[in-house]
Structure 1
Amino acid sequence: MCGRIANTLPSDAMAQLFSATPANNLPSVPNFNVCPTTGIHVVMGADPNSADSTRRLVQMRWGFIPHWYKAPNDGPLLINARAETLAEKPAFRMACRERRCLIPVTGYYEWTKDDAGKRWPWYIHSDAPLALAGIWQDWSQGGENLRCCAVVTIGSNIKLSQIHHRMPVVIAQDNWDLWLGEQGHGAARLMQPADDDLLSFHAVDPKVNSNKASGPELIEPFE
């Protein structure tokens, strides 16, 4: 799964990297402890109702809200969506066909438990920013309107299975257009675990367990 992320890339650099037009209300970066239900950077394809064919870098709520929810907290918090059942689940099946997105991150956190039940955090990252596979939708009830998203996950590769049995789907740069629907059909084949050599991980300070923790020291190796 993916329950906390870090994003340290400036918004203008993200826009340039993804060839996207940035919105005016993007979240503040760097943020070394991005939590669910907060706003995150998301790359969408071009607006089909506009003559502009440029991708868009926007803010979305991290936490997918099914259309039948009466309120954002009307059911389970859906921050992740399993790739194996994405096309079948009523909450996700239309989004996986029509509303796929990319979620830029510098890295993400995962946790293990020791024999005493204490949770120990790990920071998982690469040498370059990552583009996580995502799905999104617009939710509206009683005058409240939210654009929301979830990270698509898959069973972990051999390397990451040491700390967790699931991992986000990472989309390689030469497949961004396919995942965003700019190159027709075939995005389903991208929902695979990343190669073992793409990601690295190290233990980090347990203070990241608090959603109030902040600062660059959160991603530093911890002994």
Structure 2
Amino acid sequence: MCGRFAVTLPDDAMARLFAARPANDLPPVPNYNVCPTMPVHAVSLGEGGRHLGAMRWGFVPHWYDTPDDGPLLINARAETIAEKPAFRSACRNRRCLIPAAGFYEWSRGADGTKLPWFVRAADGAPLVFAGVWQVWERGDQRIASCAIVTTESSPDVAHIHHRMPVIVAPEHWGFWLGEEGRGAARLMHPAPEGAVTAHRVSRAVNSNRAQGPELIEPLEDGE
């Protein structure tokens, strides 16, 4: 799964990276501890091409009476996304790209302690997650929300957790967004071995209130 991540790239750099038109209400960056229900940066297709906008992380199905009317859907499993009622329409018609510096995952120590890791691209580039999105409306309330698509972990992450986000390579961004025809389903697979690397980080990130660049720094030997 993916339950926390970090975003460090400035808004203008993100807009250039994706050749997208940025919105005026983008979330503050950097954010070293992005948590569910927070607004996140997401690239989607709209009138005039690619848009970089803010979406609530936590997909809100159209049948929810309120945004919190059911389970918090932060992830969508690649294996079942096309059949699940919450996601199947979005999987066909409303896919997005969610940029990150990396994501956190937790293993368990011998005593059951949660041990956090930070997973990033091996080449230092931003990670770009596959996402799905939709707009939920009730009366004058309107929320654009998204979920991150997950798949089985690559060998680089499997020793920490059995699930990870689907990472979309730059040459496939157009396919995922639907600009270049069909083929998005073929992208929902683990990252190639060696594409990402993971290191242990401070347990400070176990708190969803923690912030600061030290959250993604490798632990010193002996910590």
TM-score (ref. length: structure 2): 0.96
In structure 2, how many angstroms separate the alpha carbons of the residues matched to 1:68 and 1:117?
38
Q: Residues 8-157 of structure 1 correspond to what in structure 2 (within 5 A)?
A: 8-45=8-45, 47=46, 50=47, 52=48, 54-126=49-121, 127-157=124-154
1:194 is aligned to 191
Instruction: Give 5+ residue unaligned stretches, structure 1.
Output: none
Q: 1:201 is matched by which residue type in structure 2? A: A
In structure 1, how many angstroms separate the alpha carbons of the residues matched to 2:216 and 2:153?
21
Number of equivalences = 218
Q: 2:180 is matched by which residue type in structure 1? A: Q
In structure 1, how many angstroms separate the alpha carbons of the residues matched to 2:107 and 2:31?
23
1:216 is aligned to 213
Greater mean alpha carbon deviation, residues 105-114 or residues 90-99: 105-114
How much has 1:157 moved relative to structure 2? Answer: 1.2
In structure 2, how many angstroms separate the alpha carbons of the residues matched to 1:120 and 1:68?
37
**Structure 1: 4+ residue segments shifted above 2 A:** none
1:163 is aligned to 160
Q: 1:118 is matched by which residue type in structure 2? A: T
Give the SS at the match of 1:185. coil
Instruction: Give 5+ residue unaligned stretches, structure 2.
Output: none
In structure 1, how many angstroms separate the alpha carbons of the residues matched to 2:159 and 2:78?
20
> Is the contact made by 2:156 and 2:198 (CA closer than 8 Å) also made in structure 1?
no
Give the SS at the match of 1:28. coil
Amino-acid identity (%)? 59
